[in-house]
Amino acid sequence: MKNASRLPKARTDNLVIRELDDETLVYDMVRDEAHCLNRTAALVWKECDGTTNVTQAARALRRELDAPVDPDLVWLAVNQLERFHLLEADAQSPAVSRRKLMLKYAPVVLSLPVIMSISAPTAAQAASCVCPSCCPGFVCVGGSSCSPT
């Protein structure tokens, strides 16, 4: 059943997307979070169109990566994409053990999907000044730079 299941649809609204050679950068303007998808995660995200099933996606990844790919690897990427809110809200995929896949794919571990994420600071956090605590005798100038008193 889970091999014939269709992949959810990728979110596209309120995202800034930049594709680089081996990774894709995604900035979520709603959550103020930046995500870096490795090649495998980015390829799965591209397959998330709401019509492609997991077996088709695994075949497409196998061609692109020139490495063995099974449906569990695709579901692992989908789980990560869900966790970082990069899929439409109604998505629900089966849970997959990352540890099990690491052991199974030890020779080609670099093809495992990886998403690194950071939260952007709010405007108030970005402009906050910490001079008194780190630089005694200095005062904040313009809210963000320090100068001697």
8 A C-beta contact, residue 39 and residue 47: no
The C-alpha atoms of residue 25 and residue 131 are separated, in whole angstroms, by: 33
Q: How far apart are CA 76 and CA 70, in angstroms?
A: 10
- Mean pLDDT value of segment 129-146: 55
- pTM more than 0.75: no
Give DSSP secondary structure letters for 49-72.
BSS-BHHHHHHHHHHHHTS---HH
Confidence at residue 92, expressed as pLDDT on a 0 to 100 scale:
58
Structural domain spans, the chain: 15-121
Q: Rounded CA gap, 128 and 130, in Å?
A: 7
- pLDDT tens-digit profile of 64-117? 999 888 898 899 899 899 999 999 976 555 555 556 655 555 555 455 667 677
How buried is 89 (Cβ within 10 angstroms: 0-12 exposed, 13-18 middle, 19+ buried)?
A: exposed
pLDDT, tens digit, 9 for 90 and up, residues 5-52: 899 999 999 999 999 988 999 999 999 999 999 999 999 999 999 999
Residue type, 15: L
pLDDT above 90 coverage of the chain, percent: 44
